[in-house]
Amino acid sequence: MALKAIPISQVVPQIDEIHVENVTFPSLYNNNSTPLSHGEDEDDVGKMNNKNNKFVVMGHRGSGTNMLQYSSCHEKTIKENTLRSFNEAAKFNLQFIEFDVQVTCDGHPVIFHDIFIFTQQEGKLIEKRVTDLTLEEFLSYGPQNGSTNVEKPLFRKMKDGRIFEWKVEEDDRLCTLQDVFENVSQSVGFNIEFKFDDKRNYRDEELVRVIRAALQVVFKYAKGRRIMFSSFQPDAAQLIKKEQTAYPVFFLTNGGSEIYPDIRRNSLDEAIELCLEGGLQGIVSEVKAILRNPRMIAKIKESNLSLMTYGQLNNEKEVVYLQYMMGVDGVIVDFVEKITSAVAQFSKQVHHDGKEHLLLLEKRLLSEQRITPCSEDEISYFRNLVPELIHS
């Protein structure tokens, strides 16, 4: 049974045009601490005109994550989630950068991925929760402006429990959400991920405090920049949508690669249901979940949702091509230069491992607009080229 052909222009908002035109935000909340009405119809705000059907590339944490397994990559490593990383990524042909926002205990949105931050003092590792720090404490970690002396060197804990000193080729200081708006090229949009601890249960008021702190900065400094929000935390994703109607909200999911107590996080079907229930605009899925079950692409589009993917496989240009063919709207990548260059040359003949020409891919891209997903036969053809990647 082939995937149902769906004209994307009829059902999907275009991600690369996310912004609100001619809207001013003098303040975010009124005296009753409720979201202000921005004069927009909720059914229309954040919608993206998809007439050009553009495939979107986003830089993961700017120019890519600093996970140690990437150290063998030919691309230089720049400290992730920093102004230097963001502006380096902006030099390439991408539409958005993605980054992680947490809020300090004194109410300041800062950019940092990990829930805990590590340093070393007098030979002893010190671990603290980012959200337990004040802004001043947070910014005291790592390099400081105008100084080569690092009093609190950063360390990082890996998933397997090992802890390493966080070394990169090009370092930079930690930054705030306001810093990013004021210092990153206006040419790129922001995918702002609200980061929460997977091991904690949050009350709604805790989530709202974080969301409102970030939204205050967004509405003050956005100035027409393309913006979208995302979160793995189901309640947070829905609350972001309730707290504002100016920008689209996407739900992040690994599609069942890991199982969580909250069943809403455990499948793409659950992700669709959550988005429809909360009025969200799209899903950002771990790419393996899509490749293992490509029929979900049509189901997501039929639900009038956009679809992005993330994951290490998105650093393989063949996997990115495959998603383009299947109708995925865009990818979040670490190897920004490599993937943006590849995407710009989709119409050229590609070799896979020097063995097989992707003639079918070239034929489709040269002769058709990308308005339908691949047939199941085509999906099978391409999946067979990278089975060890998809099933690893």
List, for the chain, all residue ranges whose pLDDT scores fall below the cut of 70. 1-53, 68-76, 146-147, 347-392
Give the residue ranges of DSSP H helices in the chain.
Answer: 8-11, 83-89, 135-139, 177-183, 204-221, 234-243, 268-278, 287-292, 295-302, 317-326, 336-343, 359-367, 376-383, 387-390
* Pair 281, 42: CB distance under 8 Å: no
Q: What is the pLDDT of residues 85-95, one digit of tens each?
A: 999 999 999 99
pLDDT of residue 67: 74
345's tokens: 């040359």
The secondary structure of 14-76 as a DSSP string is: -GGG---TT---S-SB-TTS-BPP-S--TTTTT----TT-PPEEEEETTT----GGGGGSSSP
Residue from 125, 109, 108 nearest 117 by CA:
125
Q: What is the pLDDT of residue 54?
A: 82
pTM: 0.81
The confidence score (pLDDT) of residue 382 equals 58
Express each pLDDT in 180-217 by its tens digit: 999 999 999 999 999 999 999 999 999 999 999 999 99
Task: Tell me which residue of 230, 214, 148 sits closest to 176, measured CA to CA.
Answer: 214
Q: How far apart are CA 321 and CA 342, in angstroms?
A: 9
- pLDDT for residue 128: 98
pLDDT computed for residue 347 by the predictor: 43
- pLDDT, position 218: 98
Query: pLDDT tens for residues 304-362?
Result: 999 999 999 999 999 999 999 899 999 999 999 999 999 998 745 444 433 344 444 44
Residue 149 has a pLDDT of: 79
Q: What are 144's strand-pairing partners?
A: 147
